[in-house]
Structure 1
Amino acid sequence: MEWRDEGIILGLRKHGETSVIAEVMTHAHGRHMGIVRGGRSKRLQPVLQPGNSVDLVWRARLDEHLGQYQVELLNGRAGRLMESAIGVHGVQAMAALLRLLPERDSHARLHDAFAIILDSLDTPARAGALYVRFELAILEDLGFGLDLSACAATGVRSGLIYVSPKTGRAVSADAGAPRADRLLPLPGFLTDRSMACSDAGMLGQALRLTGYFLGRHVFEPRGVEPPISRESFCTAALKAMRQAEPVLSPIQEPIA
Structure 2
Amino acid sequence: MRVELQPAYILHSRPFRDTSLILDCLTDDYGRLSLIAKGARSAKSRQRQLCQPFAPLLLSWQGKSSLKTLTSIESRQLPLGLQGEFLFSGLYLNELLTRLVPEQDSCPEIYQSYETALHQLAEKETLEPVLRAFELRMLEDLGYHLDLTSDADGAELQPSVVYQWWPEQGWRIASDTITAQNFSGAHLLALRDAVFQDPEVLRSAKILTRLLFKPLLGDRPLQSRKLFQKTR
TM over 0.5: yes
Read off the aligned partner of 2:50 and give its amino acid letter: V
Q: Which residue of 1 aligns with 2:10?
A: 9
- Provide the TM-score with structure 1 as the length reference: 0.74
For 2:78 and 2:163, how far apart are their aligned partners in 1?
A: 39
For 2:148 and 2:121, how far apart are their aligned partners in 1?
A: 26
For 2:147 and 2:229, how far apart are their aligned partners in 1?
A: 23
- Which of 51, 57, 65 is residue 54 of structure 1 equivalent to? 57
Structure 2: give runs of 5+ residues left out of the alignment: none
For 2:151 and 2:12, how far apart are their aligned partners in 1?
A: 41
Q: Which string of whole-angstrom CA distances, capped at 9 and with x for unpartnered residues, describes residues 136-184 of structure 1?
A: 233234443311122334612552765522137356xxx5455655613
The structure richer in strand per residue is: 2
Percent of paired sites with the same residue: 23
**Change beyond 3 A, Cα 1:64–1:218:** closer
Contact 2:19 2:39 (C-alpha < 8 Å) held by counterparts: yes
Contact 1:30 1:107 (C-alpha < 8 Å) held by counterparts: yes
Q: Displacement, 1:44?
A: 2.6
**Change beyond 3 A, Cα 1:178–1:91:** closer
Q: Which residue of 2 aligns with 1:145?
A: 145
Structure 1: give runs of 5+ residues left out of the alignment: 240-256
Question: CA-atom RMSD, angstroms?
Answer: 2.9
Q: Which residue of 2 aligns with 1:74?
A: 76
For 2:150 and 2:230, how far apart are their aligned partners in 1?
A: 31
Contact 2:157 2:189 (C-alpha < 8 Å) held by counterparts: no
Contact 2:9 2:53 (C-alpha < 8 Å) held by counterparts: yes
Q: Displacement, 1:131?
A: 1.5
2:129 aligned counterpart, secondary structure: helix
Q: Does 1:132 align with 2:132?
A: yes
Q: Which residue of 2 aligns with 1:38?
A: 39
**Change beyond 3 A, Cα 1:70–1:209:** same
Q: Displacement, 1:35?
A: 1.4
Contact 2:163 2:183 (C-alpha < 8 Å) held by counterparts: yes
Q: Displacement, 1:121?
A: 0.6
Q: Which string of whole-angstrom CA distances, capped at 9 and with x for unpartnered residues, describes residues 36-75 of structure 1?
A: 2332246333311111111011112x24453234110113
Contact 1:35 1:69 (C-alpha < 8 Å) held by counterparts: no
- Provide the TM-score with structure 2 as the length reference: 0.81
**Change beyond 3 A, Cα 1:91–1:162:** farther
